[in-house]
Structures are given as structure tokens and as C-alpha cells.
Amino acid sequence: MTAHDRPKGAAGPAQHSQLSLFARNFFKHPQMLGSIIPSSSFLVKRLLDGVDWQQARVVVEYGPGVGTITRELLQRMPPESTLVVLETNQDFVDCLEQSLPDPRLQVVKGSAETIQAELDRLGLPAADYVLAGIPFSTMPAMTRESILMRSLEALSPRGAMLIYQFSSKVLPDLRRIFSRVECDFEPFNVLPARLYYCHP
């Protein structure tokens, strides 16, 4: 994590605490995180370059972890927008709620498969963007397909799902489910990441 990723006003010890939390959870649930450290600033920038910020009124993020991408989203999103993050790990939920007190942020302890139910519960329209770094390659095929289908259904017609992965295993599913998939690559990350911009 670089100074660019640091939340405004955050002290070094807080940053260290978040990295420790991420590493501890990696060793407890390696199949759920995929990497021992959060995403690099290079990966975050390349991923978010695919966002039209004038259109980003409802954004959903799956598996935000300690909020590396979440913070950057909140810095770029318009004041009247809403960011819904779905996280299954209670440690990360607590971390996000404590470290990111932003009225635009809705932290939900839940699965990516419940995206439409959460949007309905919050009274929100279809998502303009869905961002996901959850490890699709280690999921059962039925779970992977369910998440991708639920995401497609929750997207607005002009929306997009932005995905980063450390394996290309999910690509055939993306091409089968979405009408158009653009591919990219970011070498400056641990591990180097593949990026997919998926359109309904």
C-alpha cells in the first residue's frame, strides 16, 4: 500500500493494523482472499479507469477487505452517489465501519449472491457498476455462475462489471454470460492481475 492509498488523516499505525488484519485473514481463509496483501495502487488505478464517474450513481463492491479500493471509490464518486459493499468476513465489516464513516457507504455483511435483495432493501435502482476481486477460480462452479448471473441481472443496461483476478479461469464464464468482455493486465501487483470489463 502506498501513500496514495492511505485514507486522509490516517496514521501509520492504523495502516499497519489494516495490513495485519488482511494478512491474518489470508492465513485463516486463503481461498477467500487469493493474495496476502491488499491490491496495489497500480491495480486500483487501472481497474477504476474503466468507470465513467458521471454515470456512477450506484456502485457495488464485492469483498472489499480492508477497503483499499473502497477508499478510492469514495474519493472519486459524486456526492449524491451510493456505494454498497458486500463482505462476508465480520472482521472486515467491523474495520470498514470504523475506518470509513462516509454517509454514501453502505456496508453489508452478506454474499455477492444477494446483490439484488440488498439493492431492493436499500431502495436503490440498478447498479451502474459492480466491482469484484473475489477469487472466482476457487469457487464451486455453481456459486461462480450464480454470482455472475445475479450481478448481470442487477446491472443497469449501460452498466458494467469490473473484475480483477489472479487466474484466467473465470474468463469462459464471463464470455458466456456477458455480451462483451474487454481484457487487461496489471503486472505491478502481488500477484500480477488480469482485469475484465464486462458489459450486459
The overall longest dimension of the chain from CA atoms, in Å, is 45
The C-alpha atoms of residue 179 and residue 102 are separated, in whole angstroms, by 34
Q: Among 33-47, 110-124, 131-145, whose mean pLDDT is lowest?
A: 33-47
- Per-residue confidence (pLDDT) for residue 50, from 0 to 100: 92
What is the rounded average pLDDT of the residues 123-132? 98
- Per-residue confidence (pLDDT) for residue 190, from 0 to 100: 87
pTM for this one? 0.83
**Closest by Cα among 104, 55, 108, 54 to 80:** 104
CB 196 within 8 A of CB 165: yes
| Confidence check: pLDDT of 31 > 70 | no
Segment 189-199, tens digit of pLDDT? 988 999 999 99
Sketch out the chain's domains with CATH numbers.
3-199 (3.40.50.150)
- Per-residue confidence (pLDDT) for residue 38, from 0 to 100: 78
Can you spell out the DSSP letters for 67-81?
THHHHHHHHHS-TT-
Who contacts 98 (Cβ-Cβ below 8 Å, separation ≥6)? none
